[in-house]
Structure 1
Amino acid sequence: MQISSKFTIGVHLLVVIDYLGDSEKVTSNILAGSIGVNPVIVRNVMGNLKEAGIINISQGKSGISLARGLNEISFYDIYKAVDCVDDEGIFHFHENPNPECPIGRNIHKSMDGKLAKIQECMENEMRYITVADVAVDVKKEIEAAE
């Protein structure tokens, strides 16, 4: 099980956009520099976030901005926006359990509901954590280091 790094990239770039605010035009190059990835990856994630109505992208003076307040953007919103999980879910079942083995024949059916419940619990928890929660913690760390 692994959620794509697009999720943490999405959170990171939203916190940067908020932090820079109106003091600096936010571009994909600035975001890529902070995140430490190629600007193409950042633009890909930004496209997902724009499509989900989380950010605005302008080629003009304003650059990239938040479409909603950080307290209105949950981890779940980002998770869904950047397509972290396909239709199979977060757990990818091994593909070839032996049908001749009594365990192999039944393991999938026995685990599917349990794994779905775990994913549902995780996704429900993600709805209660916002990007604002992260931004507050980051700002505290910045202030403590000064």
Structure 2
Amino acid sequence: MKMSTRFSDAIHILAFIVIYKEKVQLSSDTIASSIGTSPVVVRRLMAQLKKGGLLTTVPGFADPTLKKPAEVVTLLDVYLTIEGDKPLFSVDPKTNPACIVGGNIQPTLTEYYRQAEVAAKAKLQQTTLQDLIDTILVRQAEKEAGK
């Protein structure tokens, strides 16, 4: 099963807009080339980010901007905007109830997954877009310094 990259692509878009503002044209083509996807995917994600109150765009102009400062946008804000209330993990509903494992795995995993999801969302809530951008810029500086 293929994992969705919509969440990470949305974060990529927002970070790209902040880092490259005033440096390159912020068209969906330019952003898509950084992500390695199509401009259509970028436009769809940007529409969701705009609808979620994280991005401001003007049709016909390649000048998207964050609606809020990167210091206050959390990764949980981005996740909820892109994925909504979709669970992070899913349990296979088609297990064999006559089997010891199949008959007990669903409620067992559901509880563990719920705990993991709460912890993951708490971490996303503590991490701002600015934290992520700062880490990207530090890593790039280290690369440029030859480390």
TM range (shorter): 0.7 to 0.9
Match of 2:103 among 101, 105, 116: 105
Q: Check if 1:32 corresponds to 2:32.
A: yes
Deviations 1:26-65 (A, max 9, x none): 2211111121110011111111111111110113556211
Match of 2:94 among 93, 96, 113: 96
5+ residue gaps, structure 2? none
CA distance in 2, matches of 1:63, 1:104: 52
Map 1:129-144 onto structure 2 (within 5 A): 129-144=127-142
1:13 aligns with 13
Q: Check if 1:82 corresponds to 2:82.
A: yes
1:49 aligns with 49
Percent sequence identity over matched residues? 22
Q: Aligned-pair distance for 1:84?
A: 6.9
Moved over 6 A (4+): none
Counterpart of 1:83 in structure 2: which amino acid? E
CA distance in 2, matches of 1:102, 1:142: 51
5+ residue gaps, structure 1? none
Counterpart of 1:130 in structure 2: which amino acid? T
CA distance in 1, matches of 2:94, 2:103: 10
Counterpart of 2:113 in structure 1: which amino acid? L
CA distance in 2, matches of 1:119, 1:51: 25
- What is the count of residue pairs matched by the alignment? 144
56-65 vs 9-18, which moves further: 56-65
Do the aligned residues in 2 keep the contact of 1:25 with 1:64 (CA within 8 Å)? no
CA distance in 1, matches of 2:139, 2:28: 24
Counterpart of 1:81 in structure 2: which amino acid? T
RMSD in angstroms over aligned alpha carbons? 2.3
- Provide the TM-score with structure 2 as the length reference: 0.85
CA distance in 2, matches of 1:110, 1:141: 40
- Provide the TM-score with structure 1 as the length reference: 0.85
1:115 aligns with 113
